[in-house]
């Protein structure tokens, strides 16, 4: 398969999947019913969720300077924020293109070499991956009894334990195989894991490592709170169990990687997660659409304004420094 064909598939597949999932979600509830949920929603809580999302993006923009400044470059916060929001917007068109554009923006306006800027973005993603894994572990720890009971009611507990034990054995066999194998796949996995470990430990070698850790925690706390407060927008999701909040958040987060910006996949992921807790099908789907729409509109507005004001801001900044 040619490189061009692979690139076309990478772009087309998420778009096709998104369209299919939009059709699926609308087949589960009529558009008129979905619009009714939008009309009845409490927009105070939706607005508060958007505000918390903006705070997380500001913190992300500020956190970036802790990785850029030690390399001898100065990253202005307005440029950092506009680059972050522009990247989010561009990710809605071509998957992962946002990270490239973000590094390109600071290379153009701040004189930071592209490869160095992009390297810090990769390191950021590693920190975010660690946080995502941490939330999953915390969820399993806090809600283990509920999750176990849910599966035990539907499956034989003995089979569950055998399955868990089997997964552990398979994981150990896989790790041993990867360590000893010299295949291309094994080498790629080794490089990824090594990079992941190095990236995590490099954070603690920063001059302002604790500030970086604080902002990383703040970003993800804002993400969870953003999801949590938005649940109060609908009567059906107001006051749902904390387990539903965490599992819904995790499910929604993974869905964003499936399609461009989570279009189509996000509402379906929330609907499936909430259905575990007996939340009405229509309410779960409607909440997913409300949450996704609010955050997407925020990205479109702030990302669009960022692309518009980047040249204006930097032209004025150049005049002041000249």
Write the CB contacts of 116 (distance below 8 Å, at least 6 apart in sequence): 68, 71, 73
Angle, in degrees to the nearest 10, between helices 209-230 and 43-68: 160
pLDDT reading at 151 higher than 80: no
Q: Count the Cβ atoms, other than its own, within 10 Å of residue 85.
A: 28
Q: Count the Cβ atoms, other than its own, within 10 Å of residue 130.
A: 16
Nearest to 55 by CA among 286, 287, 302: 302
- Range among 51-60, 132-141, 146-155, 252-261 rated most confident: 51-60
pLDDT reading at 7 higher than 60: no
Q: What are the φ and ψ backbone dihedral angles of 198, each rounded to 5 degrees?
A: -60, -40
Q: Please, are residues 252 and 288 in contact by the beta-carbon 8 Å criterion?
A: yes
% the chain with pLDDT above 90: 32
Residue ranges of domains in the chain: 27-142+208-314
Across 176-195, average pLDDT? 73
pLDDT confidence bin for 141, thresholds 50/70/90:
confident
Nearest to 290 by CA among 270, 261, 260: 270
Q: What is the pLDDT of residues 188-239, one digit of tens each?
A: 777 766 655 665 565 666 778 888 989 999 999 999 999 999 999 999 999 8
Burial class (CB in 10 A: 0-12, 13-18, 19+), 251: buried
- pLDDT, residue 209, reads 81
pLDDT confidence bin for 117, thresholds 50/70/90:
confident
Across 170-176, average pLDDT? 77
CA 317/CA 234 separation, integer angstroms: 45
Q: What is the pLDDT of residues 82-105, one digit of tens each?
A: 999 999 998 888 767 788 899 899
Interior CA angle at 121 toward 116 and 125, to 5°? 145
- pLDDT, residue 308, reads 92
pLDDT reading at 293 higher than 90: yes
**Helical segments of the chain, H only:** 3-28, 31-40, 43-68, 77-90, 97-110, 114-142, 144-154, 157-180, 184-203, 209-230, 242-258, 265-275, 281-321
CA dihedral 240, 241, 244, 247 (to 10 degrees): 150
Length of the chain: 322
Q: What is the pLDDT of residues 24-78, one digit of tens each?
A: 777 777 888 889 999 999 999 999 999 999 999 999 999 998 888 877 888 899 9
């Amino acid at each position: 398969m040619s490189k061009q064909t692979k690139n076309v598939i990478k772009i087309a597949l998420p778009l096709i999947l998104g369209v299919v999932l939009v059709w699926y979600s609308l087949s589960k509830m009529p558009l008129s019913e979905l619009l009714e949920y939008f009309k009845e929603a409490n927009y105070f809580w939706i607005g508060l969720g958007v505000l918390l999302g903006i705070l997380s993006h500001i913190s992300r923009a500020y956190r970036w300077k802790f990785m850029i400044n030690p390399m001898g470059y100065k990253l202005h916060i307005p440029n950092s924020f506009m680059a972050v929001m522009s990247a989010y917007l561009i990710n809605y068109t071509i998957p992962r293109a946002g990270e490239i554009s973000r590094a390109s923006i600071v290379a153009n306006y701040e004189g930071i070499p592209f490869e160095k800027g992009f390297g810090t973005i990769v390191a950021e993603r590693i920190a975010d991956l660690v946080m995502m894994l941490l939330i999953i572990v915390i969820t399993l720890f806090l809600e283990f009894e509920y999750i176990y009971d849910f599966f035990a009611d539907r499956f034989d507990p003995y089979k569950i334990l055998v399955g868990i034990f089997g997964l552990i054995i398979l994981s150990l066999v896989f790790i041993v195989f990867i360590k000893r194998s010299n295949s291309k796949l094994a080498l790629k996995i080794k490089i990824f894991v090594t990079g992941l470990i190095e990236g995590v430990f490099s954070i603690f070698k920063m001059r302002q490592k604790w500030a970086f850790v604080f902002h990383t925690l703040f970003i993800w706390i804002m993400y969870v709170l953003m999801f949590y407060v938005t649940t109060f927008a609908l009567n059906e999701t107001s006051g749902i169990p904390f387990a539903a909040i965490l599992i819904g958040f995790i499910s929604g987060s993974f869905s964003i990687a499936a399609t461009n910006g989570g279009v189509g996949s996000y509402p379906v992921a929330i609907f499936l997660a909430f259905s575990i807790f007996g939340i009405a099908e229509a309410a779960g789907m409607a909440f997913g659409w409300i949450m996704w729409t609010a955050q997407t509109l925020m990205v479109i507005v702030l990302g669009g304004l960022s692309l518009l004001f980047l040249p204006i801001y930097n032209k004025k900044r150049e005049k002041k420094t000249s």
